[in-house]
Chain A
């Protein structure tokens, strides 16, 4: 039985706002599954339907074999959820928040205090446990939110953009907890992200969502291999017309499987990219188009994203520098 299953899941907020348009998913137990997409692509709406916060317009969804519409209350006992932007009560201490959360999930008696202490240790918040949440940094709030999602030992955990706005050190910390929980306790994770690195590093399987539809699915390696070519990126000078002239000049490039104009660059998908570079330089010279930079790379998830959606993954909130956490 899959941990999460959806069949033609749809959510339309209105005739104009069609957030999710027929998603089919099957996620195995013990899997870390990443939903990769831009803001507004339908990631959060999908999470809210799967976690019973939002009723689907049509289609079917099951979590741990239970129907999200008819068996919402039972599902809520079995899942843990950390929503976007650490949804916490600033006027409680970290310990109080975990204790209340444990009680609401039915953890009884002494078990409440023990579980709160255990989780505070896991997420490295023991020293800050009795401080009000409003005094926590963004990274600490995220860790506390993750702990709150785990308080009742759920089998399946949903993390909605768990590291957006965090500095690299805090992000690394969150990733480490997810990996440990998955490996040691077999917890299934469904995470949404707009960070390619996060999907690449954590996920066993990645699903790219664009405009409410799944456009690609597979392990990070499978997705990257699916491109089957090297990626040569030529950043073009010569003013506003430069990139278009470069694209025209390179149209006849032998072996090129696809050429795309992206901003001030031309992206060429081609086998044996290193051998192709001298020819590319020659063709650009012949067309008198100045080049600012030429790079050769193995395909990344961004290349997969570009190929499948026609645009780069534009991250709304870039990760902050250390000590400059953007927000919780």
Chain B
């Protein structure tokens, strides 16, 4: 167990260096959410109070920007794995006595760290735009941790597809899946103003609970119930994607 953790750590460091040495790949994961944050706030921010009772629309949108950035960045996990498979380096790792799961977890943990840094950058931008943070500095830490957990869980989608198919295009599907989930959540307005059918879909969408948990830290303070729902949603998503990943890993190494 200790040995597995040690080897996972070394593989995490290796994957982290890959990111540090190619920073250009991460620019879009920062630029796109900040761009959407600015545009959405610019378009709706003036009327959000009158329309659906949200006065601090920057704060309302900040978690959306974070989730966008995290989903984009963690989808790249699959692409990194495909590249390892494609150039044969994954086979080289499989030929070592290291536990097979460590080979996957190393990359996933690296993505968890990456999205936490990215989240911190987006939060700083949000604060500059005037989002505020009702839960204070510790709330920033909690927001970063939630984003890291979500990134880890979400990366499992691209990772499992990468291990199953070894196809770079297919491994990017994770990011495409995220958009319907985001639009079927209270990303732009509270669920109170949703049509009944959309309200129902939002209620069964795990992104809704993650978003509302994050949003509570920005707009409300420490709402433990909202946070608990967010953690449960992330753990549920993580259990699902990790199961897919382990099955795909078994299929590849059989």
Give the B-binding residues of A (Cβ under 8 A). Answer: 51-53, 55, 73, 76-77, 79, 81, 83-85, 87-92, 96, 100-101, 103-106, 132, 148
A105:B14 contact, CB within 8 angstroms: no
B89:A89 contact, CB within 8 angstroms: yes
Collect the chain B residues with CB atoms within 8 Å of residue A87's CB: 87-89, 91-92
Shortest beta-carbon distance from B44 to chain A in Å = 41
A76:B88 contact, CB within 8 angstroms: no
Number of A-B contacts (CB under 8 A): 61
Interface range on chain B: under 10, 10 to 19, 20 to 34, or 35 or more? 20 to 34
A83:B96 contact, CB within 8 angstroms: no
Known: A73-B97, A81-B95. A89 touches B21 (CB 8 A): no
Shortest beta-carbon distance from B94 to chain A in Å = 6
CA distance A96 to B98 in the complex (A): 17
B145 at the interface (CB under 8 A from A): no
B17:A96 contact, CB within 8 angstroms: yes
B87:A96 contact, CB within 8 angstroms: no
CA distance A170 to B18 in the complex (A): 28
Residue of B nearest to A99 (CB): B10
A76:B95 contact, CB within 8 angstroms: yes
B223 at the interface (CB under 8 A from A): no
Give the A-binding residues of B (Cβ under 8 A). Answer: 3, 6-7, 10-11, 14, 17-18, 21-22, 84, 87-89, 91-98, 254
Q: What are 18 A-B contacts with C-beta separation under 8 Å?
A: A51-B95, A52-B95, A53-B91, A53-B94, A53-B95, A81-B92, A87-B87, A87-B91, A91-B18, A91-B21, A100-B11, A103-B10, A104-B96, A104-B98, A105-B96, A105-B97, A106-B3, A132-B21
CA distance A79 to B3 in the complex (A): 20
CA distance A211 to B231 in the complex (A): 56
CA distance A179 to B35 in the complex (A): 60
B17:A106 contact, CB within 8 angstroms: no
A83:B10 contact, CB within 8 angstroms: no
8 additional A-B pairs beyond A79-B95, A89-B84, A103-B6, beta carbons within 8 Å, are A81-B92, A84-B88, A87-B91, A88-B92, A91-B17, A92-B17, A106-B3, A148-B92
- A-B pairs, top 8 by smallest CB distance, nearest first, are A87-B88, A104-B96, A104-B98, A91-B18, A87-B92, A77-B97, A76-B97, A89-B89
